[in-house]
Amino acid sequence: MRLLSLNINKEVLDYIIENELYICDDVSEIDDAIYHSEVRYYNIILVKHNNTKYLKQILKYVNPRQTAVIFLVDEISKEEELELLKKGAIDVLKGSIPNDLLLAKMKSIHRENFENQYIFKDKYLINKEERSISDNKNNKLVINGKPFSILEYLIKNRHRSAISKEELLDVLWDDPEWVVRNVVEVNINIIRKGIQNTFEENFINTVRHRGYQIV
């Protein structure tokens, strides 16, 4: 999962990074935030800025069905707030926002991302600390490195019709522009082989010309 931030409290970012909740791109200027929102995919965008003209530019480049955008402002009129919400912001937080409230807002959006373990398909337990998946028959598969990150990302986005290779690269690699393009396919094959050997099942479907989907 990937996060874009501007002017967000360092304690919040440190907590996110230390707990490996998101890969964080923390920028220092609003122009950089606008640029990043245009060229890279993000699961969540946190921006603290008071000029709604720039905030609307960020919304212009994101798909609100895929990217949760939260704006933090010191003051804003009701009309401006409504306009940002209508254009796709999921929330506009005003005034001094406590760290625990901001983290709670984030957790309400990506609840599974904040849990160390969770159930998938009513019989598989995903354990983030062990980087493992186990079933109700005590079969267990430990998946190290990027294959686990890819599997977990697909599971967390199982409600979507397909996740493209480009999105997986953008979200899960620090510098996707330097990564060999077939690296996603290689990792998907590792995941499929492990799942097939351990559970005799394959729940990653290839959607032609679109990417991958959990089934």
CB 88 within 8 A of CB 59: yes
The secondary element (H helix, E strand) that includes residue 73 is strand 68-73
Residue 11 burial by Cβ neighbours in a 10 Å radius (0-12, 13-18, 19+):
exposed
Q: Strand 117-120 relative to strand 44-48: parallel, antiparallel, unpaired?
A: unpaired
Calculate mean pLDDT across residues 58-84. 94
Sheet order of strands, 140-142 included? 117-120, 124-127, 132-134, 140-142
- Rg, the chain, Cα only: 18
pLDDT for 35 equals 96
> Rounded to an integer, what distance in angstroms lies between the CA atom of residue 34 and that of residue 61?
8
pLDDT for 175 equals 74
CB atoms near residue 104 (< 10 Å): 11
| Positive/negative CA dihedral, 59, 62, 65, 71 | negative
Is the predicted pLDDT of residue 198 greater than 80, yes or no? yes
Q: Dmax of the chain from CA atoms?
A: 58
CA 198 from centroid of its chain's CA atoms:
27
Question: Which structural domains are found in the chain, ordered by start?
Answer: 2-112 (3.40.50.2300), 115-214 (1.10.10.10)
Calculate mean pLDDT across residues 151-178. 86
Q: Strand 68-73 relative to strand 44-48: parallel, antiparallel, unpaired?
A: parallel
Q: Write out pLDDT tens, residues 163-172.
A: 999 899 888 8
> Rounded to an integer, what distance in angstroms lies between the CA atom of residue 165 and that of residue 49?
32
Please give the backbone phi and psi of residue 73, each rounded to the nearest 5 degrees, phi first. Answer: -135, 155
Is the predicted pLDDT of residue 12 greater than 90, yes or no? yes
Confidence of residue 209 (pLDDT cuts 50, 70, 90): confident
Residue 209: name the closest of 164, 153, 159, 158 by CA.
164
Q: What is the mean pLDDT of the chain?
A: 92
Confidence of residue 93 (pLDDT cuts 50, 70, 90): very high
User: How does DSSP classify residue 165?
Assistant: H
End-to-end CA distance of the chain: 20
pLDDT for 178 equals 73
